[in-house]
């Protein structure tokens, strides 16, 4: 019950915060791109939360924990938060003042990419029960080298890269997309720090690195 209440509280606060960041600058709740993003973002999130609560409460608890211990990761969280705030605010302002409008086809394709990425996100959570939001190695944690982990070492970040870069396009904001281009650089910093932690604390990770060469994008990096 405590985990359920915590999850519902953070879920509700997320809806309120994102809604305020998008619709206040837009000056209206009739910003249909904002409504679209809210629906395809929070409806699957709610369903995923219910599934984790029933089947893997430990995973849900770890996903709700935002208390980073690594200093580098604290900086990454702050930069990510700044990126989201600026990106959503600019998207709302872009709608209000009609600065730059993208073709609807871009919005539709981006929405499809977002939904597919969300499905892959669920697959990564299914494959790795140790997948916390914070950088840490749990007691008796096992190395995962199956499924998407056979392609890249950090498939969760690959998926979030697709998710986050599609968000501003769903919001019909090219300017927000430019702001969200910060994310690849933010995530590279996070990955480099995370790998140092995993090498020192997770058994077999050095051998896994030799087996799976690419960190984020196959054949690129």
Residue 143 CB neighbours (<10 A): 15
72 or 42, which is more confident?
A: 42
In this predicted model, what pLDDT tens digit does every residue of 76-123 receive, in sequence order? 889 999 999 999 999 999 999 999 999 999 999 999 999 999 999 888
State how far the Cα of 191 lies from the Cα of 197, in Å rounded to an integer.
10
CATH hierarchy code of domain 2-63+71-211: 1.20.120.1630
Of 194, 69, 198, the closest CA to residue 142 belongs to 198
* pLDDT(130) > 70: no
Return the pLDDT at 136. Answer: 62
Mean pLDDT for the chain overall: 89
> Average pLDDT in the 126-131 region?
75
Using the structure block, give the residue that is written with the tokens 């986050």. Answer: 164
Sequence ranges of the domains in the chain: 2-63+71-211
26 or 57, which is more confident?
A: 26
* pLDDT(55) > 90: no
Query: 203 pLDDT band (50/70/90 cuts)?
Result: confident
> Average pLDDT in the 139-150 region?
82
- The DSSP code for 149 is G
> Average pLDDT in the 166-194 region?
94
Distance from chain centroid for Cα 213: 23
Among 47-56, 59-68, 90-99, 102-111, where is mean pLDDT lowest? 59-68
Could you give the C-alpha distances from 78 to 45, 94, 113, 130, in angstroms and in order?
22, 24, 26, 23
Ramachandran sector of residue 147 (left: φ over 0; alpha: ψ -120 to 50; beta: rest): left
* pLDDT(17) > 90: yes
> What does pTM read for this prediction?
0.90
Query: 141 pLDDT band (50/70/90 cuts)?
Result: confident
């Amino acid at each position: 019950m405590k985990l359920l209440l915590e999850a519902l509280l953070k879920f509700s606060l997320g809806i309120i915060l994102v809604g305020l960041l998008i619709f206040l600058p837009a000056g209206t709740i009739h910003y249909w791109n904002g409504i679209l993003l809210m629906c395809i973002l929070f409806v699957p999130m709610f369903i995923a939360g219910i599934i984790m609560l029933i089947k893997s409460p430990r995973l849900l608890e770890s996903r709700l924990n935002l208390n980073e211990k690594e200093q580098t990761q604290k900086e990454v969280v702050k930069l990510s938060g700044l990126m989201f705030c600026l990106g959503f605010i600019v998207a709302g302002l872009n709608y209000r003042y009609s600065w730059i409008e993208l073709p609807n086809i871009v919005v539709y394709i981006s929405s499809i990419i977002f939904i597919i990425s969300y499905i892959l996100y669920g697959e990564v959570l299914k494959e790795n029960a140790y997948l916390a939001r914070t950088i840490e190695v749990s007691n008796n944690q096992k190395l995962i080298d199956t499924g998407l982990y056979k392609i890249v070492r950090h498939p969760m970040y690959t998926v979030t890269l697709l998710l986050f870069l599609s968000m501003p396009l769903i919001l019909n904001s090219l300017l927000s997309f430019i702001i969200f281009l910060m994310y690849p650089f933010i995530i590279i910093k996070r990955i480099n720090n995370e790998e140092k932690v995993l090498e020192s604390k997770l058994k077999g990770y050095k051998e896994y690195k030799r087996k799976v060469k690419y960190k984020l994008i196959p054949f690129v990096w």
